[in-house]
Amino acid sequence: MQIRIINPNTTRGMTDTIGAAAHRVAAPGTRITATQPAHGPVSIESHFDEAISAVGVLEEVMAGERDGMDAYIIACFGDPGLLAARELTRAPVIGIAEAAFHMATLISTRFSVVTTLGRTGIIAEHLLEQYGFRHHCRRVRAAEIPVLDLEDDADAALSRIIDESRRARDEDGIGAIVLGCGGMADLTDEIGEAVGLPVVEGVTAAVKLSEALVGLGLGTSKYGDLAFPRPKSFTGEFKRFSNLQPVR
């Protein structure tokens, strides 16, 4: 099977980190393609960044449909464009926040999230509510690091994430930590060893969930709100989206 894992920001180093983490856990028969949009924010740290990045995510799914992908992963902890992406395909589309929340509740009754900037914590809180995990999560914490520090100042970023994860362990009454950024995909083992709690990371969780869904012959339902978008005209620079037709 083929999984297209989409880093919604446009930082190639983070896309490579995400792709490498996905390859590490992929089953022998799973081929991973890690991509990023041709245009968009270099990092996603606000509602505005999320909104802009969603267009690129959708274009990557459209490209994946032409390439015959079996599943898609949106590798940003805000799951940007998730439901819109599901409208475009019969394949499973999984967001890394959604995947991490599901996995964390299978191994603990309470978890906390450790993300990058405190200002984006509300995005994770909205998703917890939307996906029905609000009562499982004790707190959404932030290491207060810019997303790209994960690439540009990795040692200092890791140290801050570990410190915040230890505070979560000691204060929140939890059984697991959820890492709240696609750029943390390569830090699971180091954080787990330093903190002494199970660490759930969304990229790798989404790879295994994608394999499970495809293996069960399950994909995005086309009945109801996730049916293909109604064809219509788009104007201006979005003219290319006019009268979209399903590829398969």
Give me the residues that bind ligand 5HY (CB under 6 A), please. Answer: 9, 43-44, 76-78, 115-117, 120, 147, 181-183
Q: How far is the CB of 61 from ligand 5HY (least distance, A)?
A: 17
Judge contact between 113 and 140, C-beta under 8 A: yes
Given strand 71-74, what is the order of strands in its sheet?
Answer: 31-35, 2-6, 71-74, 93-95
Nearer to ligand 5HY among residue 168 and residue 214 (C-beta): 168
Nearer to ligand 5HY among residue 65 and residue 201 (C-beta): 201
Nearer to ligand 5HY among residue 206 and residue 214 (C-beta): 206
How far lies 244's CA from each of 81, 111, 235, in Å?
A: 17, 41, 13
Q: Provide Rg for the chain, Cα atoms.
A: 17
Q: How far is the CB of 80 from ligand 5HY (least distance, A)?
A: 9
Residue 170 CB partners (closer than 8 Å, separation 6+) = none
Q: What are the backbone dihedrals phi and psi of residue 63, each rounded to the nearest 5 degrees, phi first?
A: -65, -40
Judge contact between 124 and 180, C-beta under 8 A: yes
Nearer to ligand 5HY among residue 32 and residue 76 (C-beta): 76
Q: How far is the CB of 226 from ligand 5HY (least distance, A)?
A: 23
Nearer to ligand 5HY among residue 92 and residue 183 (C-beta): 183
Q: How far is the CB of 183 from ligand 5HY (least distance, A)?
A: 6
Q: What are the backbone dihedrals phi and psi of residue 115, each rounded to the nearest 5 degrees, phi first?
A: -110, -165
Q: How far is the CB of 76 from ligand 5HY (least distance, A)?
A: 4
Exposed, middle or buried, 125 (CB in 10 Å: 0-12/13-18/19+)?
middle
Nearer to ligand 5HY among residue 88 and residue 142 (C-beta): 142
Judge contact between 79 and 127, C-beta under 8 A: yes
Amino acid identity for residue 230 in this structure: R
Q: How far is the CB of 57 from ligand 5HY (least distance, A)?
A: 12
